[in-house]
Amino acid sequence: LYPVIATVSASHSIIEIGAEEKVRIGDVASLFDAQSGSRPEDVSEACGASVYDLTMHLNPLLPRRIV
């Protein structure tokens, strides 16, 4: 898991990926899932935004998969 380091906006989030080159362009990135630490309420607390802002103000063109 990589920490959200800036407020989420309608078109982007800023995530700290560190100096190691583990993440590449084209990798799948999930903002939320059911695991502890990456549930919507966990991400909300970590970045100081409400769950509402995280879920309702994301760009409608972002792909979404609900399982």
Give the burial class of 13: count Cβ atoms within 10 A of its Cβ; 0-12 exposed, 13-18 middle, 19 or more buried.
middle
Whether residue 63 is predicted with pLDDT greater than 80 in this model: the reply is no
Whether residue 65 is predicted with pLDDT greater than 80 in this model: the reply is no
Q: Rounded to a whole number, what is the distance in angstroms from the first to the last CA of the chain?
A: 20
State how far the Cα of 18 lies from the Cα of 55, in Å rounded to an integer: 26
- 59 token code pair: 């760009």
Domain extents in the chain: 4-56
Band of residue 67 on the pLDDT scale cut at 50, 70, 90:
low
Specify the pLDDT at position 41. Answer: 92
**Per-residue model confidence as pLDDT tens digits over 15-51:** 888 888 888 888 888 878 888 988 999 988 887 889 9
Q: What's the pTM value of the predicted model, to 2 decimals?
A: 0.57
